[in-house]
Structure formats: structure tokens, C-alpha cells
Structure 1
Amino acid sequence: MGFVEDARIFARAVEKGSFSAAGRDLRMSAAVVSSRILALEQKLGCRLFNRTTRKIQLTSVGRSFFERIVDVLDAVERAEASVALEGGAPRGSLKVTAPLGLGRRLVGPVVTTFRAAQPNIDIRLRLAEHLLDLIGEGIDLALRMADLSDSSFIVRKVATIERILCASPAYIEAHGAPKTPDDLFDHQCLLLRFPGSRQFRLTLRQGREARTLAVSGAIDCDDGDVLTQWALAGSGIVMKPVFEVAEQLTRGTLVQVMPDATPEPTTLAIIYPSRQLPPPGHRAFSDLLLEAGRSHVATELGKLGKRLEN
């Protein structure tokens, strides 16, 4: 490895806070990370870290070096990307995150399609309903369903997603259908709950008025597909994107409740940290995911005779 690669390893160790965390991110052992940073220190003729058995801490020289090297590494990445744009197959790796359900049904197939066209780019896909820290987790690209109006990242809108409250006919027969938003307090609400989740508060709109309700239920989960299964089993009322339950609504295994009081829509979007010149592979994957995402949503909505809002 050369100086630039050793500097990259050093910078990743600083960002991750330990050699072992940097090693996991770079797919190398902590011992290799330590040896490469030691080699870098020998080249520079100074100590960059103070090491203890439990943690690493930058020296004053190390902190100064880090503050300067990040700009150099960014310039190198832009130069490499510029060369790739001029010709030659893109190389490198791409770390992607998406919600569990969409990850399985949409992003997974996109990865195989992309890899067939770009075999020199490795994909690391992490599926989680909770919103990962893109910077802290080293995520390059995320598919998210959320309010992104104040996002500091680059946002590529896939679709506006309408949501509804629904339940199984068996649940409605056993417990009755809520007539007003306040009636939800007397029902079992199936909630998507994880650290930072806001979906235990339902904002429902009736005409021009919107109300936020802190509803509750006996069971909750951090996987949206499990909530759908529970709703189908008659366990309660769930809020779902229309396209995700279009087939069940068509079959009648789920029915909409309170159609005159609907949850506020959300946005399905691709987001990634701002860069002056994103690597070509990142943009290519984003383009493919954008097209596939719109097609997937439109296909599911087509089962209900709805149109995708562009």
C-alpha cells in the first residue's frame, strides 16, 4: 500500500474512533489497520495516535495532520472520479441502506442488475427500518420514506407516497370501525417503533384540519412487513403506504378505515451526502434505483387503478 491508501486508513480510524471499527468498515483486521498506521507514522517521522489498551487518541500532530489530509483525500477522490468519467469502468464500493421491506423487494433486485453491468463495484447493503446516521455509518446512498424537506443531503425524489389506515375485516367485525380520530384511542394500533420513530404519533388530516394523536397498542415492531402480517391476522389497525398494501386492499383481506381522515403523505427518496463530484458508480446506481423505485410504486398502485404522482 502507498501513502495515500495508508492516509485513508488513518482517516477512517479517526472517523470511526478505533482500529477495529475502521477495520470492519474497510474489511480488514484491526491488526492490519494498526500496522498500516504505524507505517504511516514511520514515513512521517511522528506519532499520530496515543494508544492505550482500550482506545486511541489523536496527538496534537495527528489532529493537525487529519485536518489537512481530509481535503487531500477528497481531492484525490474527485480526481479519480473525473478520470473514471472520461473512460473506463467505474471501480470501488458502494454502501447502501434501505427499509427492510423495500430492501427485500426493490433494492435487492436492483443490486443484482447493477452488478451485472458494473462488476467492478462492490455493494454493501444494510437493511433497517430505523434511520441510520449516514455520515457516522459511512453510508454512500440511502432509500428512505420520510419528510426530507429540511435535509442537508442531496435528495432525489422517487414519489409522493399516500398512506392509509387499514385493518382486516375480521378485526372490524370484532371491534367495530373507528368513526372519528378520537375513536382510535379505543382500538389496538399496530405501530412501527424503533429509536427515533415518530409513527406512534399519527397525524390525520380531515379537510384543512390536521390532528396529531399519540395512539397506542399492545404490540409493536420495527419491521413494517410484520405489522402488515399482524393486521392481516386481525390484531389491529395499521398505517401503511397505499402501494405496500395495494394487493391486500384489492383482495379485500385489508380494508381502509376512516377514509375521510387520512394520514399525511410522505416522500420516498434517494439521498446521499453532498459531494462536488459523486463517483460515477454512485450516480449510476442512483439512476437505476430511481427508475426501479418509480416502476415498483406505479405497478403496485396500478392494482388499485391509481396513478403514481411524479
Structure 2
Amino acid sequence: MADLTDMEIFARVVTAGSMSGAGREMGLSPAVISKRIRRLEERLGARLLQRTTRQIALTEDGQGYYERVIGILASIEEAESFVTRRNTAPRGTLKIAAPTSFGRMHIAPYLGKFATLYPDLKLSLMLNDRFVDIVGDGFDLAVRIAALENSSLIARRLAPNHRVICASPAYLEREGTPKTLGELSRHNCIFATHQDVWQLEGPEGATSMRVAGNLQTNSSEVVREGVIAGLGIALRSTWDVGPALQSGKLRIVLPQYRESRRVAVYAVYPSRRFLPARVRVFIDFLADLFGPEPYWDKGLDLAFDAPDGPAGNPVAA
């Protein structure tokens, strides 16, 4: 008869990517993990994992077994969650990684409200503009603003990410408002390092536009402050400049154009099959906070940018 503990250990090894990683998650030594995997393989009469000194990989039998095991474990978890979720408060430490500016503007201000809802949770928010290794660096989840590529991670879309060409009223009054993309070449454009090619989509389809300007910076916050100060024209996400657009400090220029990449705001985490309550409630909190029309987009004319999919559904990242 199947041993559910061995099945869970096997699934943990796969999601963690190593026996040592699974051991840390489950409080077991790598030797115990290895022994239990070996026992499972002997009972099944098949090799499930190919092992090297640095990594593990699923065999064909292992892949098929894993796909079925996670369904079994998910059903058990759902059955237990059905009984306990109303009576069990999330506890422990929630480790979150997020982009620097987005974290400062749209996560940090709401941590107090979240902490009030879940007083038994401790929060660790690390802001960094690189993509962290969620499993290797020990994070529960990461907030990412990206066009997701295939990986072993799971993602839940939290909000759309609209990017608009914008400038301050003072700059436009001084230099004039461009009516075509070609006219941008005569304007001072502000951008972060290595972002001088704007990938745009408009009436004539997808196009690339190389821009130039008199400011070099590795900080998106400097770009935002520069465009608000009237230094030039920028291509910015509305989560970054939404308040300035709403207040009139900035205006959308060439509204018929959008960035051609389908980027959105996501919560990314290792596996939906072993999602701790502390992770689930934080993701739900952000999804409710942002929603399909986040507060930073309220009142903006973004009809040109159709949604790129429903928010809230977990997908393979």
C-alpha cells in the first residue's frame, strides 16, 4: 500500500529541486530523504529520479508518478483545509521578494493593514530589482512585473501592467507635443540604462523605436522624477506614474501606442500543491488590493490597452 509520507517526500524533492532543499522544508536530514526515496523506488520497482552530485532530474516513470502524486496530495490538502481553514490562523514568517519601487509604493504602505488582519504572522520584505531564486534563497513568494516564461514555478496574475508615453505639461508647453512616433526623435527622452529601445504597438502594428536623451541612470525612480520635473518624455508603467497622471503632473502622449510586450504584475511561488496558509492569504490580500483595474489606473484613459487575461488564476510560470 502507498505510504503518503514517502509520496510527499518525493513531491517535495521535485518541487525543491534537491534532497537537501526538501530536507530543510520538512525538517529531515538529506540522508533520511535519500533513504525514503530509495525505499519508494524499491517498492515501485522503478527509478523515479536521476541523481548527480549537484541536481536531480525526473525519469520518464518519475514524471508520470509525480503528476499523479501531486493530484493525490492536493486532494488530501484540500480536504484538510476545508475543515481547518476557518479555525486556523496563519502563523510563522512570510518571506516576500519584490521590485524596489513597486514594493515601496504598493506593498509597504499596506503591510500595516495586513498585519492587523493576521497578527500571528511575521513579515520579511526584501526589495531587489533582480529576479531572486525563490527556492534557493528561501522566499515564500516573489512579486514580479514581467512577461512570464516557462519554469517550474506557479504564478497568479495580480494586476495588469499598462505602460504609457508621458511628459509633464511644462515640458510639452516648452517643446511641443509630438503627434507621431517620428517626432519623438526630436525630443529629449528619459530612460533607464539599456532601455533606449521602446517596443511599441500602435495603428501600424508592432514597431521598435530607438530614443535618445541627456540623462543616464540605472534607477527607474530617477526616470520618474525626471519626467515629472519636466526634463523630457518617458515610457513608464502606470503603477509608477499613475498618481502623477491622475493629479495632472503628467500627461499621456501618443495615447494610440502601448508597449508591445504583454507584461503584468504576478505573485510567483514554488508550487500550488503545498501552498502554506501564510502565502495564500498574502496573495489573496494583494489580489483584492489591486484587482483587474488597480487603484493607480483609476480615471486614466487606457481603453487602447486590452487586458491580457483574467487576474487571479494560478498558471505555470
* TM-score above 0.5: yes
Partner of residue 18, structure 1? 18
Do structure 1's residue 203 and structure 2's residue 201 form an aligned pair?
Answer: yes
Three-state SS of the structure 1 residue aligned to 2:107 is helix
CA offset digits 1:180-226 (Å, max 9, x no partner): 221123444334678xx998213356xxx766342334677775324
**Residues 121 and 307 of structure 1, relative CA distance in 2, 3 Å threshold:** farther
User: Match for 2:282: what amino acid?
Assistant: F
Specify the alignment match of 1:34 in structure 2: 30
Q: Which amino acid aligns with 2:198?
A: F
**2:93·2:124 contact (CA, 8 Å) conserved in 1?**
yes
Question: Is the Cα–Cα contact under 8 Å of residues 231 and 237 in structure 1 kept in the other structure?
Answer: yes
* Aligned residue number for residue 211 of structure 2: 216
**SS of alignment partner, residue 89 of structure 1:** coil
Q: How many positions carry a matched residue from both structures?
A: 291
Q: Is the 8 A contact 1:93 1:124 kept in 2?
A: yes
User: Helix, strand or coil for the counterpart of 1:202?
Assistant: strand
Aligned with 1:239: secondary structure? strand
Q: CA deviation at 1:13?
A: 3.0
TM-score for the superposition, normalised by structure 1? 0.60
Residue 292 (structure 1) aligned with residue 293 (structure 2): no
1:71 corresponds to which residue? 71
Q: Judging changes above 3 Å, is the alpha-carbon distance between structure 1 residues 84 and 66 closer, same or farther for their aligned structure 2 residues?
A: same
Q: 239-248 or 128-137, which moves further after superposition?
A: 128-137
Amino acid at match of 2:240: E
Q: Distance in 2 between matches of 1:258 and 1:308?
A: 12
CA distance in 2, matches of 1:27, 1:188: 55
SS in 1 for 2:211: coil
Corresponding position of 1:245: 241
Which one-letter code corresponds to 2:201 in the other structure? T
Please say if residues 191 and 220 of structure 1, whose CA atoms lie closer than 8 Å, have aligned partners that are also in contact.
yes
Q: Which amino acid aligns with 1:292?
A: L
**Shift in CA distance, 155/99, structure 1 to aligned 2, threshold 3 Å:** same
Give distance in 2, aligned partners of 1:264 and 1:137.
Answer: 32
- SS of corresponding position for 2:167: strand
Residue correspondence of structure 1 range 39-50 to structure 2 within 5 A: 39-41=35-37, 43-44=39-40, 46=42, 49-50=49-50
Q: Contact 2:16–2:135 at 8 Å: present in 1 too? A: no
Query: How far 1:41 sits from its partner (Å)?
Result: 3.4
Q: What are the ranges of 5 or more consecutive residues in structure 1 without an aligned counterpart?
A: none
Q: In 2 relative to 1, CA 250–172 (structure 1 residues): closer, same or farther, beyond 3 Å? A: same
Amino acid at match of 2:164: R
In the TM superposition, residue 245 of structure 1 has moved relative to its aligned partner by: 2.9
Verify: 1:166 aligned to 2:167, yes or no: yes
Partner residue of 1:106? 106
4-13 vs 154-163, which deviates more?
A: 154-163
Contact 1:141 1:270 in 2 (8 A): no
Offset at residue 34 of structure 1 (A): 1.9
Report the CA distance shift for 1:51/1:162 in structure 2 as closer, same or farther (over 3 A).
closer
Q: Structure 1: how far apart are the matches of 2:156 and 2:220?
A: 23
Considering fraction of residues, name the structure with more helix: 1
Identity of aligned residues (%): 30
Q: Would the alpha carbon gap of residues 86 and 251 (structure 1) be closer, same or farther in structure 2, given more than 3 Å must change?
A: closer
When residues 17 and 86 of structure 1 are mapped into structure 2, their CA distance, relative to the original with a 3 A threshold, is closer
Partner Cα separation in structure 1 for residue 267 and residue 101 of structure 2 = 18
Contact kept, 8 Å, 1:178 with 1:257, in 2: the verdict is: no
Q: Contact 1:94/1:123 (CA < 8 Å) preserved in 2?
A: yes
Q: How does 1:120-269 map to 2 (within 5 A)?
A: 120=120, 163-166=164-167, 169=170, 173=174, 178-191=178-191, 200-204=198-202, 212-217=207-212, 224-232=220-228, 236-242=232-238, 244-245=240-241, 248=244, 255-256=250-251, 258=253, 261=256, 263=258
Whole-angstrom CA distance in 2 between matches of 1:259 and 1:37: 58
Q: TM-score, normalised by structure 2?
A: 0.59
The alpha-carbon deviation at position 238 of structure 1 amounts to 0.9
Determine if contact 1:191/1:200 at 8 Å carries over to the other structure. Answer: no
Query: Aligned to 1:184, what secondary structure does the other structure show?
Result: helix
Question: Structure 1 residues 84, 270: CA separation in 2 closer, same or farther (over 3 Å shift)?
Answer: farther
Q: Which runs of 5+ in 2 are unaligned?
A: 149-153, 304-317
| One-letter amino acid of the counterpart of residue 201, structure 1 | Q
Q: Is the alpha carbon distance of 1:179 and 1:64 closer, same or farther for their aligned partners in structure 2, counting shifts above 3 Å? A: closer
